[in-house]
Amino acid sequence: MNSDEEKNLQQELDFLKSTNQDLRRSIDELTILQEMLKGISGEHTLEGIIKRFTDIIKKKLLVKGYIFFEIGESAKVKPLYSENLTEWDITEKYGISKSILEWVINEKQISNVPSIAEEDEGSSLLMIPFYTSVKNFGLISVAIETRADDALTVDVSETLKLSASQVAIALENLKLYHDIEEDTKNLSELKNFMSNILDSLVNGVITFDNEKRITHINRNAYIMFGITEVDIIGKKYEECFPEHLSSIIDFILKETNEKGFVLDYQVNYELVGGVTIPLGISTSILRDENYETIGITVVSRDMTASRELDRLRTLDKMKSDFVSTVSHELRSPLTTIKAYLDTLMHRVDENDKETRAMFLETIEKEANRLYNLIEDMLDLSRIESGKIQLELEYIDITDIVKEVVKLCKMQTEKHAIHEEMPETLPKIMADRDRLTQVFINLLNNAIKYSPQGKNIWVKVEEKEGSLRVSFKDEGFGLKEEDKYKVFEKFYRVDSQQTSDIGGTGLGLPVVKKLVEMHHGKIEVESEPEKGSNFIVILPIKES
Amino acid sequence: MATDEKKLKKIVDNIVGLPTLPTVLTNVTKMMQNPRVSAAQVGKVIQSDVALTSKILKLVNSAFYGFPNRISTVTHAIVILGFNAVRSTAMSVSVFDSFGGGGETEGFDRMAFWKHSIGCGAASRILAKRLNIKELEEAFIAGLLHDIGLIILDQFVHEEFVKVMKQVKEKDILIRDAEKELLDGVTHNDLGAWLGRKWNMAPALIEVIEAYPNPSSASDNYLLVSIVHAADILTRALDIGSGGDNRIPKINKSAWEKLGIDMADLPSILQEIVDSAKKAEAFFTMVNK
């Protein structure tokens, strides 16, 4: 070995030794670094992450200050926060423009530039980008008290690379964490919003999951169903609803599962204190985005208002029907009266007393018909609108019947009216005047629709807890199809025999209503040409 | 010794006068094994070679690196672009110095070859950057040197190479296929890898040169091999320079999948490659004409 070779060998050995020593030191430092890197991923704030990162740099280099730049809109960098370093510093002392910062980010390149200011000759500015495969987060500019060419050893740049990627991962986690937090916040706001809407509904709304647990209940459902338990979300309804409500829910859930929905199931729901409210309950199946059944929504509404509305609607319709029919019915006698009066005034000789008397008679007859018609109409309308109140008292019905027969016998001598009634009958609660009206009406009809000389039987009997008062005649009788129609308003049997007989078509409807007000009913037996029998049946106990 | 190695040895044993890697580069590589070595120390070593220094500065100030301010010293280049970028430009310069000149072989246009190589380097760097690989410069140099074996063939096994190129032209086949037939199964990839070992290149580089036509045969550096495999094909498809033949090899499916490139992104990637290859023209000026 010559001396040159010996020198070379010595150099090689020295190099190897120092490299080995340096490697060992680096390994020790890497162990510390690893611990510090773990700390980065444990941070949950941006400040914390950056602080940890600068702590690592501080282990290696003398740090003067730093600025963290984030990537803002249209990929421009903007300073987020800093410590002992300003944007002015990095521009003036290190000659760093925004375009260099952006170059660092785009090239994903850790760079270190020397200071250009004389007083800062020994310092340099490190620029370290933070990025993951999916996102660039920004960069940190760190001013260090070391010349650029001495600072960035292979070791330091490896450490920086390693910790920068750790920071990027932590930043990504942080972003995900914030996104989740944001989502959760939005979700709870939405939930609150929906719950407020549900609470503002006048309907009661309850939702159940597939295991019959309550998943939501709005304020009105609590009130409507008189639910007193609190904290019922998540509980099975059998455990916290009043028993009668549970059985209703049992039924409608079963119906819903079978048919897919329930529409306005009507129930009179009794609240504590005996108050009953009419409810209409509807349901539908709740499904998720895959159309899987996830539960059932139950909506109940208080029908009190809608029932009242229904009643008023019916009444209104009745009235308008009534007015249209009545105006027609009123017009015909009036037309007759007007025509006769016209003729009488302008055409009939003043001295022709016979003709005048005949005309006046017709006018009187029509006027009477008009009067009766109006009376009947008023009666009927009062009954139908519920304005007539019966004045009930215990009465002996035979008294009334006798009275009526007596009255009618005075009107006709051409029919034979026979009475048939037991000596004693139980008294019933009834309105004397109204029953008189009923019986007069029926007996008058029997007289009107029977030819002269025929018999009429008025019979009172007690049968099956009721009093039966029948008016049987030997008159024209009714066809089968007319038997029920005679109780309809303004229905007149259309036949040759009865065409001359005056009537309003309201008598029997009034009779029927009055009898029904007494909780009774009216029946009719009849055959054409053989006669009719109208039977009023009044309960003995109930009225 | 395996049969293939024997065949390769038969060829390389006849190679005389192979350039050696500049001492500066050997020293720099050695220095960088020490984690505590500073930019100033490495810079000082490189700056001792004035010609190399001026070429490096020209490259680091080129559009390829695109640093907005002027970089005036190698040390600055190291602190701004990193050790690896500077070493890779030094390596490029050395390769061009050693193999850039000469070459009049019929059917093999050296200038087109270097253009393709530089383009492939730029493309590899872009793919690596997309995959967020930290060693961008390694990808660049791997792309640049992937076909260095062709130059060895041209320069040192010239007679056979002339035959290879003749057959490539006549049959319109891949150089590789012609080589296998005429060189007893030995390819320029084998020769390139041989040079890599001789020059003490990083193991990853040697694996790329050897395995890039068939990434499935790669072991430790599958991703880098896949990158260069794809970069070579994309550069050929874009007709940047010439790889020596006029064919586009079949792309390896699993290598392509490994890169995870969305087909929708391909047009923008191709554009980026074209732009970057243009920016890398500074390298082309280093090639001795």
**Residue B60 to residue A103: CA distance in whole angstroms:** 14
Q: Helix, strand, or coil here: A57?
A: helix
User: Are residues B228 and B210 in contact, defined by beta-carbon separation less than 8 angstroms?
Assistant: no
CA–CA separation, A56 and A163 (whole Å): 8
Lowest mean pLDDT segment, chosen from A84-93, A236-245, A395-404, A484-493: A484-493
B262 touches A at CB < 8 Å: no
pLDDT at residue B102, rounded to an integer? 66
H or E segment and range at residue A539: strand A531-539
CATH class of A393-539: alpha beta
Q: Does A461 touch chain B (CB under 8 A)?
A: no
Which one has a higher pLDDT value, A190 or A348? A190
| Element containing residue B40 per DSSP (H, E) | helix B39-47
Tell me which of A283 and B285 has the higher pLDDT. A283
Q: Within its chain, how far is the Cα of A500 from the centroid?
A: 60
| Three-class SS state of B64 | coil
Q: Does domain B3-284 have CATH number 3.20.20.140?
A: no
CA distance A25 to B45: 24
Running DSSP on this structure, what letter comes out for residue A480? Answer: T
A130 touches B: beta carbon within 8 Å: no
Cβ neighbours around A290 below 10 Å, total: 6
Question: At residue A163, does pLDDT exceed 90?
Answer: no
C-alpha dist (Å) from residue A518 to A221, A528, A535, B127, B232? 41, 30, 14, 100, 108
pLDDT per residue as tens digits for the range A494-522: 766 676 676 777 888 889 989 998 999 99
Residues of A in contact with B39 (CB under 8 A): 112, 148-153
Q: Name the residue with higher pLDDT: A194 or A411.
A: A194
Q: What is the average pLDDT value for chain B, to the nearest integer?
A: 89
B132–A132 CB contact, under 8 Å:
yes
User: How far does B157 lie from chain A, in Å, by closest CA?
Assistant: 35
- Residue A534, pLDDT above cutoff 90: yes
By the CB < 8 Å criterion, does A279 face chain B? no
Residue-level pLDDT at A1: 66
User: Of B30, B68, B129, which has the smallest distance from its Cβ to A100's Cβ?
Assistant: B68
A131 touches chain B (CB under 8 A): yes
**Residue owning tokens 């020059």:** B199
Helix (H, G, I), strand (E, B) or coil at A389: coil
Q: Quick one: three-class SS letters along A257-294?
A: HHHCEEEEEEEEEECCCCCEEEEEEEEEEEECCCCCEE
What average pLDDT does this structure show over A315-344? 80
Q: Which residue of A has its CA nearest to B128?
A: A133
CA distances from B193 to A187, B139, B207 (A): 60, 16, 7
**How far is B18 from chain A, CA to nearest CA, in Å?**
25
For CA atoms A266, A271, A273, A275, give the dihedral sign. negative
User: Tell me, what's the pLDDT at A381?
Assistant: 78
Q: For residue B86, which of B48, B31, B43, B44 has the smallest C-alpha distance?
A: B43
Give the CATH H-level superfamily of domain A201-302: PAS domain (3.30.450.20)
- At the topology level of CATH, where does A23-175 sit? Beta-Lactamase (3.30.450)
pLDDT surpassing 90 at residue B287: no
Answer whether A149 sits within 8 Å of B82, measured CB to CB: no
One-letter amino acid of A20 = N
Is B35 in contact with A99 (Cβ distance < 8 A)?
Answer: no
**B37–A148 CB contact, under 8 Å:** no
CATH entry, A312-384, from 1.10.287.130, 1.10.357.10, 3.90.1170.50, 1.10.260.40: 1.10.287.130
Handedness of CA A39, A44, A46, A47 (dihedral sign): negative
B67 in A contact zone (CB under 8 Å)? yes
Which two tokens mark A442? 């029926």
Closest CA–CA distance from residue A43 to any residue of chain B (Å): 24
CA-wise closest residue to B99 among B161, B37, B151, B29: B151
Q: Does residue A536 have a pLDDT over 60? A: yes
CB pairs under 8 A between A and B: 89
Q: Is the per-residue pLDDT at A385 higher than 80?
A: no
DSSP strand pairing (A136-144 vs A63-71): antiparallel
Averaged pLDDT, A215-240: 88
CA distance B197 to B205: 10
Q: Is the pLDDT of residue B146 over 90?
A: yes
Angle at B205 between CA B203 and CA B206, to 5 degrees: 65
If pLDDT is split at 50, 70 and 90, which confidence band does A479 have?
confident
Tell me how far apart the alpha carbons of residues A260 and A284 are, in angstroms, rounded to a whole number. 7
How far A42 CA sits from the closest chain B CA (Å)? 24
Choose from A152, A161, A163, A166 for mutation: most chain B CBs within 10 A. Answer: A152
pLDDT tops 50 at residue A543: no
Q: Which of B34, B81, B87 to probe the A interface (max A CBs under 10 A)?
A: B34
Separation CA A414–CA B97 (nearest Å): 152
> Rounded to a whole number, what is the distance in Å from the CA of B75 to chain A's nearest CA?
6
Cα dihedral A26→A32→A33→A34 (10° resolution): 110
Segment B206-215 shows an average pLDDT of 94
Is the separation of the CB atoms in B52 and B24 below 8 Å? yes
8 A C-beta contact, residue A179 and residue A157: no
Q: Is A140 helix (H, G, I), strand (E, B) or coil?
A: strand
Q: Which residues contact B61 (CB under 8 A, 6 or more apart)?
A: B67, B70, B71
- Return the residue in A105, A107, A147 with the most chain B beta carbons within 10 A, the one to mutate for interface testing: A107
Q: What is the mean pLDDT of residues A267-277?
A: 82
Statement: residue B1 has pLDDT above 60? no
Say which residues have a Cβ less than 8 Å from residue A86's Cβ, sequence separation at least 6.
A67
Q: What is the pLDDT of residue B122?
A: 95
Of B30, B36, B81, the CB nearest to A153: B36
* CA dist., res. A52 & res. A24, Å (int): 25
Q: Where in chain A is the domain with CATH 3.30.450.40?
A: 23-175
Does A153 reach chain B within 8 Å, measured CB to CB?
A: yes
pLDDT over threshold 60, residue B71: yes
d(CA A171, nearest CA chain B) in Å: 16
Strand partners, A207: A216, A297
Better-scored residue on pLDDT, A306 or A300: A300
Question: Which of A160, A129, A175, A139 minimizes the C-alpha distance to A36?
Answer: A160
> Does B43 contact A153 at a Cβ distance shorter than 8 Å?
no
Choose the closest CB to B39 out of A15, A133, A149. A149
Listed by start position, the domains of chain B span 3-284
**The pLDDT of residue A374 is above 60:** yes
Picking from A393, A458, A470, A465, the residue whose alpha carbon sits closest to that of residue A425 is A465
Q: Which helix (H) or strand (E) holds A148?
A: helix A148-151
A307 band by pLDDT with thresholds 50, 70 and 90: confident
B70 touches chain A (CB under 8 A): no
Judged by a CB distance cut-off of 8 A, whether residue A114 touches chain B is yes
CB contact under 8 A, A150 and B33: no
Confidence at residue A26, expressed as pLDDT on a 0 to 100 scale: 76
pLDDT, tens only, A62-108:
999 999 999 877 778 889 989 999 999 999 999 899 889 999 998 88
Give me the pLDDT at residue B3, please. Answer: 56
Q: Is the pLDDT of residue B2 over 70?
A: no
Q: Which residues of A294-323 are buried (b: 16+ CB within 10 A; e: fewer)?
A: ebbbbbbbbbeeeeeeeeeeeeeeeeeebe
Q: What type of residue sits at position A528?
A: P
Residue B268 has pLDDT above 50, yes or no: yes
Evaluate if residue B289 carries a pLDDT over 70: no
| Interface touch A23/B76, C-beta < 8 Å | no
Contact list in B for residue A126 (CB cut-off 8 A) is: none
**B67 chain-A contacts, CB cut-off 8 A:** 100, 103
Q: Residue B34 and residue A18: Cβ atoms within 8 Å?
A: yes
CA-based nearest residue in chain B for residue A96: B69
